[in-house]
Chains A and B, each alone.
Chain A
Amino acid sequence: MFLLNLSFAEFAALFSVISAGVFALYLFDRSRRRQTVATLRFWKPAEFPVQMNQRRKVQQPLSLILQILGIALLLLAIAQLKWGSRERNMRDHVLILDTSAWMGAQGSQGGILMQEAKGLALAWLKSVPSDDRVMVLRADAAATPATRFERNKQTVERAIRESQPAASALQLGQALRFASEFQKLHSESSGEIVYAGAARMGDVDVATVPANLRVLPVDGPSDNVGLRRMGLRRSSTDPEAWDIFVSVKNYSSSPRAVPIGLQFAGSPAGTRTLQLKPDAEMEATFTYRTRANGIVEAKLLASDPFPQDDRAVLEIPQQKQLRIAVYTNEPELLRPVLSANPNMVATFQAPAAYQPDPADTDLMILDRFAPPQAPKHDTLWIEPPAAQSPVPVSGQKAAAKLTRWTEDELLGAGLRTKDLEIEQSVTYRPAGTDIVIAESDGAALIVARPGAVKNVVIGFHPIKTRMRYELATPLLFANTIRWMEPESFRRWQLNGGHVGSVAVKTEGKVDPSAVRVMDEQGAPVPFTMADGEVRFFTNQPGNIRVMTGDRDYSYSLTVPEVGDRVWEIPQKVRRGIPARPVVGASSTDLWYWLALAGLAVLATEWFLYGRHRMRVRTATVSTMPPIATDGARKAS
């Protein structure tokens, strides 16, 4: 036998205080009452028997005993006296509160589904015996414990009230698995696993339904249409155009015609109307030309109960142009090579106009020219005079056959020549950190020197030799410039989607050490690489940047993820809030019998003693007839 709500000391203290109060009230009720009257003349003649009893003597002991007994029984009912063992009776429950994005949808009762789920969870919590412990598990794409197994209901209630819809879809199977495992590991006596929510989930199905599962279902709307993804990438044919694709899904069971509006920097940029079949997903493509940066917004122009997934936003970065200052006496030689890429702007000047640090310049090309002062930008030297060459000259070589190109990923990308012979070339003596791009029988003809200011030295003029007919010539310039200014050649791809697991398919061979995944603040995000994909997970809405060599993928994960289907709850699963607290079989609940007994005892006491007192008082107060005098009789 034990008390569920109170310890024995608490019960004894409460009982003592209340009993003392009842005893004091009893004595007060039966004490001599002091009254002031106009005169004592009518009291004396009546010769009323004066009670000589002491005031503090209990005159009706049975009345007092019945009152105290009734109060003791009611107090025991409040304390929930039970037969059995306290330890065996205590149980641990897990409350899985659905905090997926879908819980932000409008419910049938005016508020959002989350409010309905919270209300059900709080109602269930009230039915939990106070000795049981409850853990709150917030479930969306990940199952996150909000509390440990907690006996303090206020803490549990606070955790429930503070729960808010997240941005990802519900992974119910994972949450149920987590709850079961947690109960097995941390609980001696497992209670229920209670799920409160709309059960619209992102996983395929719930593999294993725990036997102790109880579901507090919330009915969600069924006519939602929402954006799933949004993507931007540079058009392959037009460097100023962006290809924008928007993916829309119809979650309802009826076909829908959904208009989509596209805006750039607040101005309309296009509209489409998609005819969506039930439970189908379609993609709309837009093309928009701009070099400016700005916000691209895709919006569904139809209202539904879940407006959070009707809008997606991406920010287009500004396209940076590479500015090259070319000092040459023969600009017509290099102009075709440098004008091939629209992202490059070359200005040609005579060597006499040389400045070591010209304004608006990212890179310099010095064509057979030795400047009086060393340049302060990255520089491509073409056949510099031997005395001012940044890389020491080792000699001259005639009929130099290019025998080897560098294997460097960037500098040697695509460089291939066969039996190419350079009529006359300067050879260089590279340092240890230098990269030999091209050599002829061990003699370095083209050398790259990394550092704060990068330099590439070419021992011959590619356009004035036989190499001008080779594909390797523009590639050599392209590789060199990209090695010096990689940012200018970075290819952008912008994607909008929802939080959760993201897989980025890379192009070509990617060095894992060169891959970086960062959030908005530049903090690294954990990722894995497998099968040519970079995979990462986030449950916080925001922007994620994935850099793989010359590629830059930007993910705007702000669209809430909506589960594809609603879980069909098996018939065997218990539903709703139990009418009576679920108590372990090892104990017997006595509180209602105790409450009835207490009320019966108090009623008996009132019937035997209190009723008489009340009747006398009410009767004497209410009946005050006027005195029957002659005058009064006549008046009446």
Chain B
Amino acid sequence: MSKTKQEPLVDRLLLEKLERLTLRWQKSFPGLIGGHNPSRFAGSGMEFLDHRNFHAGDDLRAVNWRAFMRLDKLFLKMFQIEPRVPVRLLLDVSKSMTTGTPSKFLYARRLAAAMSFVGLVKHDTIAIQPFSGELHDSFTAGGGRHRFMPTADFLSELEPADRASDFMAVSKAFIGKYVQRGLLIVVSDFLDDQDSLKPLQYLADFGHELQLVQVYAPEDRTPPWKGELDLEDAETGQHLELSFDEDALAQYTAAFDAYTESIQRLAMRNNGRFSSIPTTMPVEEAIFGPIVASKGIA
């Protein structure tokens, strides 16, 4: 199928609504002027901040020549320094994302596209990093909203990996690849057979500010099947035969919710944010609902 025939991940009406939003983070990262509050420091930037007297060695391009003509004194224009906190989006493309209806994989890409657009509108630089058992080829977008189309194309062309997710390996690789701390958005179902809490804690301890977005299909939380089941793990291929009834369903849902709460607690404990979104919820509703409510986007 050609690109032109593909349905856009985010429609135009939603993009117009997303223009007024901003990616939020709270931490001050070492070596960076961060946060979305205007910087107290002057420097190279677009927004005018103040005037000061000219000193030898200052950049002559910043001299206010109009003031010199009127007052016969040299004044230097100072501009507000814009934050340059790196934003990284870890997007789960493992096999577990292909299970369930509606598709978690498609839903996660739509969410990633919407959040990338929010960042691009505010001139944030966003690195989209797909992962499964390892880090895949990444894409870095920055420079404004007109760079959204390449971002959307990159997300549209993503294919699910034929590998199981391994959060620990991915966390180590991520820290090795991205030394600079910043905002880390993780879009995943967080459903793997290994423990994903420890790697997430490892990333938070390294200094990243976590924004965790859990995407799950309805059947992940409430399986619709009853009776004799032969279950196959989508990632590992392991089989499990069991008899499933309403009592078992209640136990299953309780276990799922407990796991979700443990991820949420981890995010909160590290001053991060957490959103759990079913794929039946429209993307617009997810952005303006759970994600805005968690203050990941404002």
Contact = CB atoms under 8 A, between A and B. Distances in A.
Interface string B224-251: 1111111111111010111110101101
B223 interface: yes
B274 A50 contact: no
A627 B278 contact: yes
Contact of B193 (A40, A51, A632): A40
A36 B255 contact: no
Interface stretch (B67-75, B110-118, B125-133, B288-296): B288-296
A613 B228 CA distance: 13
A631 B294 contact: yes
A509 interface: no
A43 B231 contact: yes
A41 interface: yes
A620 B232 contact: no
B25 interface: no
Contacts of B275: 629, 631-632
B293 to A, nearest CB: 4
B22 interface: no
Interface in A460-503: none
B99 interface: yes
A36 B293 contact: no
A18 B45 CA distance: 81
Interface in B186-208: 189, 191-193
A39 B276 contact: no
Contacts of B236: 40
A119 B223 CA distance: 57
Contacts of A32: 227-230, 241
Most buried by B among A30, A33, A48, A636: A48
A150 B227 CA distance: 55
Interface string B265-294: 000000001111110110000001111111
Given A37-B99, A38-B96, A617-B226, A627 B260 contact: yes
A613 B281 CA distance: 28
B163 interface: no
Size band of the interface chain B makes with A: 35 or more
Contact of A33 (B218, B225, B274, B277): B225
A46 interface: yes
A534 to B, nearest CB: 88
B241 A50 contact: yes
A458 B189 CA distance: 134
A616 B246 contact: yes
Given A629-B290, A631-B294, A632-B293, A33 B224 contact: no
B257 interface: yes
Contacts of B255: 42, 45-46
A39 B99 CA distance: 10
A57 to B, nearest CB: 11
A102 B43 CA distance: 109
A31 interface: yes
Nearest to A52: B241
Contacts of A36: 99, 231-234
A452 interface: no
A341 to B, nearest CB: 98
A385 to B, nearest CB: 116
B264 interface: yes
B260 A629 contact: yes
A49 interface: yes
Nearest to A629: B276
A623 B294 contact: no
A14 to B, nearest CB: 31
Nearest to A622: B224
A50 B230 contact: no
Nearest to A621: B224
Contact of B264 (A33, A46, A617, A629): A629
Interface of B: 96-97, 99-100, 104, 189, 191-193, 216-236, 238, 240-244, 246, 248-249, 251-252, 255-257, 259-261, 264, 273-278, 280-281, 288-294
10 contacts: A32-B228, A34-B229, A38-B96, A39-B193, A50-B242, A51-B243, A55-B228, A627-B257, A631-B290, A632-B289
Closest 6 CB pairs of A and B: A624-B218, A635-B289, A32-B228, A631-B294, A38-B96, A634-B293
Given A40-B231, A629-B275, 13 more contacts: A32-B241, A33-B229, A34-B230, A35-B225, A37-B223, A39-B193, A43-B242, A49-B242, A627-B216, A627-B278, A629-B264, A630-B264, A632-B289
